[in-house]
Structure 1
Amino acid sequence: MSNPSFRQATPVDALRCFQIETSAYEGDEAATLEKIATRIAQYPEGFLILEAEGQVIGFINGGCAHEVQMADEAFKELIGHDPAAPNVVIMSVVVDPAWQGQGHASRLMDEYVRRMRGLDKRSIHLMCKERHVALYQRLGYRYVRPSASDHGGMAWHEMLMTL
């Protein structure tokens, strides 16, 4: 495998990101193509692409808020997003299933954290399923609480990294 590389998303990435998102998330968890396109258009600095062998194999995207409300569904459409706000809220961390199990999610997260520090952000918030709590703890996140969100009909847990 060639060395994976990182870059900021562009509008032409929306369809491939949607394909990865729908292949990796269950049921109604996946963002729509429209939401992904909106996230790229409104906050490309917060949309990190991972490429290998000439193709997009994963991505992370998020938005920024002054006050973080993890159960706020409207924020997933970047309603209330302010690129100058100090707190990042990750919406998706996803790797194509064909590329999973190779450390790509950790590589993506490490690079994302590095870039958010470079933008002088103060914290990164995310929600994950119980099976991913330990992974995020290994990556430096602190467990906050079970989330009030029932996004996609699933149980979620809130995690926080102070930068």
Structure 2
Amino acid sequence: MVEKETFQITVNGKKVDVTIRLAKDENDLEQIIHIENVCFPPSEAAKRADFIDRFRAFKENFVVAEIDNDVLIGFINGNTTDKPELPDELYHDVSLHKPDGDYQTVFGLDVLPIYRKQGVASHLMNYLINITKERGKKGMVLTCKDRLIHYYEKFGYEHKGVSNSNHGGSVWNDMVYIF
């Protein structure tokens, strides 16, 4: 498995190295929680306690984007499950995580606003796709809003219709990527 990947972006006219890697410790977790709260409205953002439980249960499924000595600018995470679907229960009940499950879920793909539109999210997604394939999984699943269907289709996800999810009171779409 590739341990990490590095590329450059431009921030305020200056080139910055970004490293994509697996999350490693509580410092990463604290920054992940902060990024989630910046990127999602309160009704949709995962709660601190949920992140702590998730990190303990499936830290190996947290991928981060880092600059300047452990400063995180984005992340992607999710658990693994036996079915190619993402019911709301998976967000809140870590006992439903199946380490040997066939499908990697994506709970969130977050990048701080100042670093967006430079490929950070794509690098995070591709890294998770690659390690998911290396782990022998059959595919990946996520839910997204209408405006992001096309974005995820570029990676290989197929739109399966409107989701049964009512997470945060929003309308979501089921997206499945079978390898």
SS in 2 for 1:144: strand
After superposition, residues 32-71 of structure 1 pair within 5 angstroms as 32-54=47-69, 55-71=71-87
Q: Identify the range of structure 1 (25-34 vs 62-71) with the bigger mean alpha-carbon deviation.
A: 62-71
| Structure 2 counterpart of 1:50, one-letter code | A
Distance in structure 2 (CA, Å) of the matches to 1:129 and 1:88: 19
Distance in structure 1 (CA, Å) of the matches to 2:167 and 2:100: 26
Deviation at 1:56, TM superposition (A): 0.4
RMSD value over aligned CA atoms? Answer: 1.3
Distance in structure 2 (CA, Å) of the matches to 1:142 and 1:19: 30
Q: Report the counterpart of residue 3 of structure 2 in structure 1.
A: none
Q: Spell out structure 1 runs of 4+ moving beyond 4 A.
A: none
Q: Report the counterpart of residue 6 of structure 1 in structure 2.
A: 20
> Percent identity, aligned pairs only?
27
Q: Would you say how many aligned residue pairs link Structure 1 and Structure 2? A: 162
Q: Report the counterpart of residue 154 of structure 1 in structure 2.
A: 170
Alignment gaps of 5+ in structure 1: none
| Structure 2 counterpart of 1:46, one-letter code | N
Q: Report the counterpart of residue 118 of structure 1 in structure 2.
A: 134
Distance in structure 2 (CA, Å) of the matches to 1:5 and 1:109: 13
Deviation at 1:138, TM superposition (A): 1.1
Calculate the TM-score normalised by the size of structure 2: 0.85
- Higher relative helix content: 1
2:89 paired with 1:74: yes
Q: Identify the range of structure 1 (132-141 vs 77-86) with the bigger mean alpha-carbon deviation.
A: 77-86
Distance in structure 2 (CA, Å) of the matches to 1:122 and 1:3: 32
Deviation at 1:115, TM superposition (A): 0.8
Calculate the TM-score normalised by the size of structure 1: 0.93
8 Å contact 1:11–1:37 — kept in the other structure?
Answer: no
Q: Which structure has the larger Rg?
A: 2
Q: Identify the range of structure 1 (28-37 vs 60-69) with the bigger mean alpha-carbon deviation.
A: 60-69
Aligned match for 1:137, one of 121, 134, 153: 153
2:126 paired with 1:106: no
Aligned match for 2:110, one of 60, 73, 94: 94
Alignment gaps of 5+ in structure 2: 1-14
2:31 paired with 1:16: yes
SS in 1 for 2:97: coil
